Amino acid sequence: MTIQSIIKKSIKRLELEGKLLTPDFYAEAFCKESKKVGMAVEDCNHVDKYSKTLNKEFQKELTNYRIRTMSELVRFLISKLNRTNSTVCSEALEAQTIFTKRVLQVIEVLHNKEATLLAKKSISLLDSRASASQIEQFRQLWVNFITTYDDTFLQKLKIFGSVDSSDLKSTVENLTIGAKLSEVGSFDLSRVAAFLVSSLVPSIASSVNDKLALLSEKIKNNPSLLDTTGVEDEIKSAISLRISLDKQSVKEMVKSLDVVLDKLSLRLIDMIEQSDNSTMEIQSIKSELESYSDEASSNFKVAHKKLFTIATALEENTQLLSKDLTTHSSEVHILSQRVHELERELEDVRQESKEDFLTKLYNKRALDEFMGIKEAEFERYGRNFSVVMFDLDHFKAVNDNFGHDAGDAVLSAFAKILKKETRSVDVIGRFGGEEFMALLSETDTKGGAIFAEKVRKHVQKARFMYKGKRIEVTVSCGVSERKKHVSLKGVINSADEYLYKAKKDGRNQVAYKI
C-alpha cells in the first residue's frame, strides 16, 4: 500500500462521512486509513507521545474525553490553563496556614497520644484540593472546640493517683480506685439497688416483663452485684427493654384512639354538610369534650370510652356519608380522566403547531424559531451555519398535468429525501409551497453546496410514481453561510437570491459563491 493510495482512501472517507476537506478532518482520516493497513506514521502518534509526558491524572482525563487529535489535545490543555487562578490559590494557601495553626493548638490540650497522632494525620487534609470555604468551615469547628474545652474535671481523679494531663489513657490505667474508697466514704449499694430496680419498672406498660422482673429480683437480693462488671450489659439490655415496652404500649393506645378519632371526624364532616343544626350539635360535642379534658388527661381509658361514646352516637349517618363519598370519588375520577385527555390533546396541538401537516417536516413558524436559536449561537459562540433553499422545478406543471393529489405526493416524497440526506444536528422544514429550507450546523458554503448537490442528484435519480405514471422531478438549490453576512436576514436573502439564479440559469443545479 503506497502513500498515494492511503491519501485517496482518506479523501474518499471524508466524502462518505460528509465532512469537509479541512486539515484536521484530513489528518484524522489519514491516520485511520494508515492504521487500517498497518502502516506506522509518526505524525499519527503525536497524541500518545505527548500524553505520556503528562501526569497520571491528566492521562486519565484524556482517556475519558477520548482525545484523538493534536487539535483536541491543545484545546484540552488550554482549558486547563485557563482554569488556573492565582487569587484562588493564594486564598486557599492562607486558609490552610490558619487551619494548621488551629490544629496544633488543639493538639496541645488533648490528653492522649492517639489523639495527637490523629491530629497529625489530619494535616493530610491540607494536601487535598479542598476549597478555601471548606477549610474555613473546619477551622471554625476547631476554634469552637478549643474555646469551650474544659479539663478541670481531671482534678477530681487526684485522690486516686497522679494525673498526667498529657496522656489521659495512662492516667486512668494507673488509678487505684479500690484502695481509695475509704477516703471518700463507703457506698450504700442497697439504696442504689433500690433506685435502679424502681427505674426498671415500665412507667406506661401495664405489666413487667419476666426478664426485667428476674434482673430486679437478682439485684434486690444481692446489691453487691452492682460493683461487678458482668452485670453492666444486663442492666443496659434491661433499660432498652423497659423503653421498648413503654413505646409499644403507647403505640397501641394511640392506634386505638386514632380509630375512634377517624370515625368521629367523618361524622362531624357529614353533620356539617347535611344538617341544618350542625353548628349546635358540634358546640354540644365541644362542651362535652371540654367537660372531661382534665379527667381524660389523667386516665387514658376514660378518654377512650367517652370518645367512643360520641362516635357511636353519630353511627346512624355512616351509610349515607359512605354513599356520598363513593359518588364524589367517582365524579373526581371521571374529571381526572378528562383532565388527562385534555392535556394529551393540548400536547398534540402544540406539536402540530410546529409540524407541516403534509410533509411532516418543520413548518415556517418552527423554522423561524430554529433560525433564532442558530443566530444566538453564532453571536455568542461564533458557531457558523449555512442556509440552503430548495425549490422543486416546474411544480405548477405537476399540479396542472397530474392533479393536486400528485403534487402532494411529490412534496411528501421530496421531504423523505431531505430527511434521509440530513444529519441529526441539522434542521429541515417546508418554507412555503414547493420551497424548502435546511439549516446546517457548523457548516460553511462549500459544505452546504456538497449537501445540496447530494440532494439534487438523489432527486434526479429518484422515481416519482403516481397511479402507475412516472413524474419527472428536479430541484434547484441556493446556498449561503452566516459568517459572510452582517445579519440573519442577509444570509436568508442571499440563499434565496442564489436559488433564483439557479432557476434562471436553467434549473436542476446548485448556485452559490465561495
Question: What integer is the mean pLDDT of 348-370?
Answer: 85
Contacts of 168 (CB under 8 A, 6+ apart): 111, 112, 154
Cell of 135: 477549610
Q: Which of 154, 155, 68, 161 is CA-nearest to residue 112? A: 154
Cell of 83: 482554569
Evaluate if residue 485 carries a pLDDT over 80: yes
Evaluate if residue 295 carries a pLDDT over 50: no
Question: What integer is the mean pLDDT of 334-362?
Answer: 78
Give 95-133 as a DSSP string.
HHHHHHHHHHHHHHH---HHHHHHHHHHGGGGGS---HH
Cell of 263: 370515625
Q: Is the pTM of this model over 0.75?
A: no
Per-residue model confidence as pLDDT tens digits over 107-131: 666 665 555 655 665 655 555 665 6
Per-residue model confidence as pLDDT tens digits over 424-461: 999 999 999 999 999 999 999 999 999 999 999 999 99
Give kind and range of the element (H or E) at residue 12. Answer: helix 3-17
Q: What is the pLDDT of residue 28?
A: 78
First to last CA, the chain: 35
- Measured CA to CA, the distance from residue 178 to residue 239 in angstroms comes to 27
- Measured CA to CA, the distance from residue 422 to residue 58 in angstroms comes to 37
Q: Which residue carries 433564483 as its cell?
A: 500
Return the SS3 of 481.
strand
Maximum average pLDDT range among 72-86, 350-364, 431-445: 431-445
**Worst-scoring range by mean pLDDT, 79-83, 264-268, 378-382?**
264-268
The DSSP output letter for 321 is H
Give kind and range of the element (H or E) at residue 334. Answer: helix 318-352
Per-residue model confidence as pLDDT tens digits over 216-270: 777 777 777 777 767 777 777 777 777 777 777 777 776 766 666 666 666 666 6
Question: What integer is the mean pLDDT of 302-315?
Answer: 61
Q: Is the dihedral of CA 73, 75, 78, 83 positive or negative?
A: negative
Could you tell me the CA-to-CA distances from 23 to 20, 150, 331, 500 in Å, in that order?
Answer: 9, 73, 69, 34
Q: What is the pLDDT of residue 293?
A: 47
The larger pLDDT score, comparing residue 298 to residue 383, is at 383
Q: What is the pLDDT of residue 284?
A: 61
The DSSP output letter for 355 is B
Q: What is the pLDDT of residue 182?
A: 45
Side chain identity at residue 141, one-letter code: L
The DSSP output letter for 441 is E
Q: Which of 77, 152, 171 is CA-nearest to residue 109? A: 152
Give 447-475 as a DSSP string.
HHHHHHHHHHHHHHHS-EEETTEEE---E
Return the SS3 of 435.
strand
Evaluate if residue 472 carries a pLDDT over 60: yes
Could you tell me the CA-to-CA distances from 3 to 13, 19, 217 in Å, in that order?
Answer: 15, 21, 100
